[in-house]
Structure 1
Amino acid sequence: MKKRFIALSCFVMFFCGSTAQASTVLKYNVNASSSWVPYYIAESAEEPGILGELVPLLLAKANIDIEKHNFPPKRTNYALDNGLLDFDFVSPDWFPNKDLGTLFVQSDPIIAIQENIITLEENAKNWQNINNIKGKEIGTVRGYLYHDDAQYTRVDFLSERDLIKALYKNRIDAAICGDLPALYWAKKLNSPISLAAIHTQGELVMRLRKEHLALLPQINAAIAEFNQNGTTQSIIDKYTKQDVFNR
């Protein structure tokens, strides 16, 4: 599964008065690769992406005050590594042995993420077994890493959007793509596709610096409530369901 980060930075500010009380304001930054659609969509106020919408709602439900900032990706990653930023969203499957490192703790799962073989609906029956990709030409995204690409012939395209277009132009019969990116671009292009065999699976979690461990129960409670009441799924549906798009 390709590695994608949405770095959400948190600086902690302490305001000390005569009562010696301190309030914590988490300053966060959402500034990821513009290719990680629909999790984050750059420069789109109305449709900032699934996490672009979910993060403010989630932290508000957790009763955590936030301030949004916009840092360049290189500065964001540096700040996270050096303790200036305090959380981002990752999949443990992106790390060796699913180990996020000694500086971090992780939240409960927020969103299930996976990659599928994608194809046109009329061809889906031919791609229900992941072993069917062996020895075949399979659409992939240039620059992405795939753990099993020695088993098939890569046909590289520039983006997930181009994979959908290639299917409809019969340049390829099948491709490997994240499920939500595939559904998003199929919706945007009004070009339905089928999710066939699962290629990889994982879960997106919040990776939180250990110094903010005390906030984790609040965050996990908010995650659980949003999963139970449908808030998270409704945001996902906004970006991936064809019937929602056509209203």
Structure 2
Amino acid sequence: MKRSIITISCLVLFFISGFAFADTALKYNVNGSSTWVPYYIPDSPESPGILGELVPLLLAKANINNEKHNFPPRRTNYALDNGLLDFDFVSPSWFPNNDLGELFVQSSAIIAIEEYIITLASNAKDWQHNDNLKGQEIGTVGGYLYHNDSEFTRVDFTSEKDLIKALYKDRVKAAISGDLPALYWAKKLNCPVTLAALHSKGHLVMRLRKEHVALLPSINAAIAELQSNGTIDRIIDKYTQQAIFEHTK
């Protein structure tokens, strides 16, 4: 399941005696994730979402300058595959056999992430196993990657918000969504949903084109520092505590 959360294009990077110098800004795309609340929240500069806050901090710690750009998700995916952009944030669990492909390397784990089959409570008993997806029409988000989407028929919508609406309009009986986006939009729309079978579980990583592998040590060091000083946990808690409380109370 692809959440092209932040995709970055390296313009100029010089490596001399093991030190990285970023003399020009690195471009990253935010629009590809503009529907993935609460990881990215558009038009909300004070609360831009988990990754909206974390990525600038991560790049600063790694001593990487950056520029924000807005491309549609499908253009972003093409640009990444063809070397026009250089990395994004994904979970290996979204890929068959956790394989990101021969063009890429990955950073250390950044954030734990889960996705579920979501449905209405009245249908939950029919979606307690991933095998229930086989041969069915399943709500998905266009441009996202799903590790087993060859087993079912994708019915693409533009966002997790629209997946919730589609369930209530009976356009699909089930969909696949991250837990936090599903809970956020269910509460926002006052349309409760059930998290049925766990579809995938893993961690977000930076997926980096292999030709820029020399950047990984500084990126991983920045991730480790933001984890050890509690920054990542504080940002996650800011956006997730209420959603989790509303689901479990």
TM-based fold match above 0.5: yes
Counterpart for residue 11 of structure 2:
11
Aligned equivalents of 1:101 and 1:40: distance in 2? 25
User: Could you tell which deviates more after superposition, 140-149 or 205-214?
Assistant: 140-149
Aligned equivalents of 1:149 and 1:213: distance in 2? 31
SS in 1 for 2:39: coil
Counterpart for residue 47 of structure 2:
47
Aligned equivalents of 1:225 and 1:196: distance in 2? 35
Q: State the identity %.
A: 63
1:24 is the counterpart of 2:48: no
Give 5+ residue unaligned stretches, structure 1. none
Q: Choose 1 or 2 for highest CA Rg.
A: 1
Tell me if structure 1 keeps the 8 A contact 2:20–2:215. no
Amino acid at match of 1:199: H
- Equivalent residues in 2 for 1:89-168, closer than 5 Å: 89-118=89-118, 126=125, 129-130=128-129, 133=132, 140-141=139-140, 143=142, 147=148, 159-165=159-165
Post-superposition shift, 1:182?
0.8
Q: Deviations over 1:108-145 (max 9, x none)?
A: 1112232213356x77985794269479x886246577
1:210 is the counterpart of 2:214: no
Post-superposition shift, 1:34?
3.4
Aligned residues: 237
Counterpart for residue 234 of structure 1:
234
The alignment's C-alpha RMSD in Å is: 4.2
Post-superposition shift, 1:206?
0.6
Counterpart for residue 198 of structure 2:
198
Give 5+ residue unaligned stretches, structure 2. none
TM-score, structure 2 as length reference: 0.69
Aligned equivalents of 1:126 and 1:222: distance in 2? 43
TM-score, structure 1 as length reference: 0.69
Counterpart for residue 189 of structure 2:
189
